[in-house]
Structure 1
Amino acid sequence: MKRVVLAASEREYAAKLAEYLREEEPGWDIAAYTHASALRRELFEDRSVELLIGQPSLLYETADAIDKAGKILALVEERGTSGGPWQEVIQFQPLPAILSAIRDGLGTVSASPPPDCQVLTLFSSSGGAGKSTVALNLIRQAGERGLRTFYLNLEALNATSLLFGKGEPDSLSRLLYALQTHPEQGDALLNRLCRHQPYLRTDYLDAPDHPGERLALTPELTEMLLEKIRSTGKYDLIVIDPDSGAGEWYRKLLEASDRIVWLLLDDTQMLMKNEKLLRYWQGQMEKDEIVHKLIFAVNKGNVGGLVNHWSLSGGSPPSILPYVPQWKAIDQPGRLLASPAFSGAVDRLMDRLALGGNVPDSGRKREERHGIQRTHARGAV
């Protein structure tokens, strides 16, 4: 029996997490404490505590005793806020993600990517198709389905700081540099630079201010970056949001993707551009290598159907995502995730992608029960 001790001051949170751990890991001996005095007594007793997972406030209050634990995980709201030398785990996220971090702390997670970790790329022939909006809505709903997600924005210029904040704008640059010069440091650096957005329920890297490293990406570096994220074993879904383009690293990205949502508008010129770009990629790769991964999606579409003739092969009929006119003058970025009509269309798109879409109602209820959130909202992102 592995001895795991949980320390959290909120009684309801501690009870819910302890109950889940006992359900999922019957071979673990779980103890939960909400007060520092009781935690200290537990640690000083003659027991072998293999893992202590607790809020930083309780860890500091019991600093004279926590060295009795084999390993320590700090429960934090945001990465980098524990103030101590401990490995961190986000406190408010789906319970499966917390369990994954605990298993990692115990050294019971394989370093190889899980077979069901999928890479999903949002692609388009030109800008303005709404890739980032679709990507973020996909991520939000994937989290609601219990999937652990990582959002990777590879646009040369992007505005995702409106949602995520400024953070460390050189995060991606530092990681890419380390992968080329000191690959053995990649795991530790990724863990340190990775941040979590609780509303979207996703991990991510801060958006760079300058486009240099994206413009200088190579196929080899693109592959190294994706494999580094996959190899953490922490994610079920990696969502890639790149620029439109036809360079070599885009080809590598499409080859490495398990599914591709090819986004376009019901516009004559854009349809022609997409047709040309699709023919180009089919010439660069085996035709079936890209077509079987594709799902076309028309964004800002007419729910009554397409205005223009559909001529793209391999993905008809496309999914249609509705036009939301209120988004033209958005004053709170969180509203990009609050359209029922758009959310419903994204939900149907996820079913087509088989991203948790076959989970029965009972399973979804279980997933909802297995998500820990704050009892009060912090406001829209």
Structure 2
Amino acid sequence: MMNRVLLASSSLEYVEALLDFIQGSSYSAVFQVTAFSQPEAMSRYIEELSPTSTPDLVVVEEQFIEKWISSPFADKVPVLLFTEQFVSEENQTEIRKYQPLPAILAKWEEVLLSSSRREKGRFNGEQTWVIGVTSASGGCGKTTVALNLAKQLGRSGYSVFYLNLETIDSTGPFLHTTSMEMQSESGGDSFSQLLYQLRTNKIPNSSFHGEKKDRIDLKSYTIRNERIQADCFIPAKNRKELLQMNKSDTSELIRLITESGQYHFVITDQDSVWDLRSEAVMEESQLLIWLLSDDIHTMNKYKEWMKFHKQLDPEQYENRMRKTLHVINRYMGNMANELPGEEMMAEHYLPYIPSWKQMREPDLLLSSPIYQKEMSKLCEAIGVLNRENTA
């Protein structure tokens, strides 16, 4: 992912030296720098900023800082202030101006990563994280992202459960779920059996005389899929079961997985419509990856979604936005449409893969080196993987 950096120093020679070094190094694929040596020029640039063009990091000398603080995006972007004094490694707000250039750029990377982790929290291994992959419009690539995310986490050593809550399962060609059914130990429609057991266990029964509810053996309903290196359920044969799932059913199902103690992550994938399953996912998730694509239909639909939920329950809306990561999928290098809402920022971009458009082999969806690389960066950005994991 290319990170946009706003750089400002009164020393034109310093700026040019830093830009020349970036251009001639591997950092040219990491940082897109817009540099200024005059405060007035920087002010004009800031006035023309939009949510889609906002920098990811601001690195400035003290005489430029007031120009940035007065901008409407000041509280959303991390700032590094140049100093000629010694700066400790833990300092995330200042950077020593005169030091080896690779050290300066390494600090930029560190602050960008740290800022993203502070914003969305960081997985610490003490609980199972539910990551909901969602969108307001179909065709944004939810299933593609969810499957590749599960694979990325699985091959990094985490224990992962992929939970597909789509009414019409779209994973068959990629996960070969028809052959998976043949391996199921429970036989029949195991997902329907699981839902039945969940519902009956919720019904109070005085004949139990205070005894605990039956403990559901999750393993008897799951199967391992090596293509994504994750466990999952066999897709439901009876679609009515999914249509009849209410918010409580979905929450109970998610909690059954998280409370089993078997998984680090649960990756959810559901329909791009507003229903009770989606409502439960949004409440149970520690992180929501909200997908957008660069088209006016998707942007407008999400804008209307935001407006509706903000009016419906402002407090709940704010809680969900705090744990939401906005991701542009099928990114082609620049944005033709503005993001809906002045306060909204895209925090990650996943690339458009042209070869998928006329794909004959479904397995290719899970084996693109370019996509896997960017998925790894997404995991690193949300604090799931560290640099050693992704190297």
**TM-score normalised to the size of structure 1?**
0.61
- Alpha carbons 2:270, 2:277 under 8 Å: kept: no
Residue 360 of structure 2 aligns to which amino acid in structure 1? Answer: D
1:180 maps to which residue? 199
1:158 to 133, 145, 169: 169
1:272 maps to which residue? 300
Residue 152 of structure 1 aligns to which amino acid in structure 2? Answer: L
C-alpha offsets along residues 232-282 of structure 1, whole Å, 9 cap, x if unaligned? 101000000000122234222201110001112100011000111123233
Residue 196 of structure 1 aligns to which amino acid in structure 2? Answer: R
- Alpha carbons 1:150, 1:204 under 8 Å: kept: yes
Q: Structure 2 matches for 1:185-196, cutoff 5 A?
A: 185=214, 187-188=216-217, 190-196=218-224
C-alpha offsets along residues 23-74 of structure 1, whole Å, 9 cap, x if unaligned? xxxxxxxxxxxxxxxxxxxxxxxxxxxxxxxxxxxxxxxxxxxxxxxxxxxx
1:134 maps to which residue? 145
The structure-2 alpha-carbon separation of the partners of 1:177 and 1:314, relative to structure 1 and needing over 3 Å to count, comes to farther
1:253 maps to which residue? 281
**Structure 2 portions without partners, runs of 5+:** 1-124, 182-187, 203-212
Distance 1:344 1:120 in 2: 19
Instruction: Tell me, yes or no, if structure 1 residue 336 matches structure 2 residue 365.
Output: yes
Distance 1:321 1:142 in 2: 16
Q: Structure 2 matches for 1:1-381, cutoff 5 A?
A: 115-162=126-173, 163-166=175-178, 167-168=180-181, 170-182=189-201, 184-185=213-214, 187-188=216-217, 190-285=218-313, 286=315, 287-302=317-332, 304-312=333-341, 315-356=344-385, 358=386, 360-361=387-388
- Alpha carbons 1:251, 1:281 under 8 Å: kept: no
- Alpha carbons 1:186, 1:228 under 8 Å: kept: no
- Secondary structure (helix, strand or coil) at the match of 1:135 reads helix
Residue 139 of structure 1 aligns to which amino acid in structure 2? Answer: A
- Alpha carbons 2:161, 2:232 under 8 Å: kept: yes
2:66 maps to which residue? none
Distance 1:241 1:314 in 2: 26
Distance 1:216 1:352 in 2: 37
- Alpha carbons 1:291, 1:314 under 8 Å: kept: no
C-alpha offsets along residues 126-168 of structure 1, whole Å, 9 cap, x if unaligned? 2111111111110111012211100000000022122132234
- Alpha carbons 1:261, 1:294 under 8 Å: kept: yes
- Alpha carbons 1:154, 1:243 under 8 Å: kept: yes
Distance 1:350 1:282 in 2: 28
Residue 247 of structure 1 aligns to which amino acid in structure 2? Answer: D
- Alpha carbons 1:299, 1:323 under 8 Å: kept: yes
- Alpha carbons 1:295, 1:315 under 8 Å: kept: no
- Alpha carbons 1:119, 1:237 under 8 Å: kept: yes
The structure-2 alpha-carbon separation of the partners of 1:210 and 1:298, relative to structure 1 and needing over 3 Å to count, comes to farther
- Alpha carbons 2:288, 2:324 under 8 Å: kept: yes
1:313: how far off? 5.4
Distance 1:185 1:156 in 2: 28
- Alpha carbons 2:329, 2:349 under 8 Å: kept: yes
Residue 326 of structure 1 aligns to which amino acid in structure 2? Answer: S
The structure-2 alpha-carbon separation of the partners of 1:348 and 1:364, relative to structure 1 and needing over 3 Å to count, comes to closer
The worse-fitting range, judged by mean Cα deviation, of 131-140 and 173-182 is: 173-182
Superposition CA RMSD, Å: 2.1
- Alpha carbons 2:246, 2:276 under 8 Å: kept: yes
Distance 2:373 2:147 in 1: 14
The structure-2 alpha-carbon separation of the partners of 1:314 and 1:208, relative to structure 1 and needing over 3 Å to count, comes to farther
Distance 1:200 1:310 in 2: 31
Distance 2:342 2:360 in 1: 39
- Alpha carbons 2:192, 2:238 under 8 Å: kept: no
**TM-score normalised to the size of structure 2?**
0.59
**Structure 1 portions without partners, runs of 5+:** 1-113, 366-381
C-alpha offsets along residues 56-108 of structure 1, whole Å, 9 cap, x if unaligned? xxxxxxxxxxxxxxxxxxxxxxxxxxxxxxxxxxxxxxxxxxxxxxxxxxxxx
- Alpha carbons 2:293, 2:299 under 8 Å: kept: yes
Distance 2:354 2:215 in 1: 43
* Larger RCO (alpha carbons 8 Å, 6+ apart): 2
1:209: how far off? 3.3
The structure-2 alpha-carbon separation of the partners of 1:138 and 1:218, relative to structure 1 and needing over 3 Å to count, comes to same
Distance 2:148 2:133 in 1: 12
- Secondary structure (helix, strand or coil) at the match of 2:292 reads strand
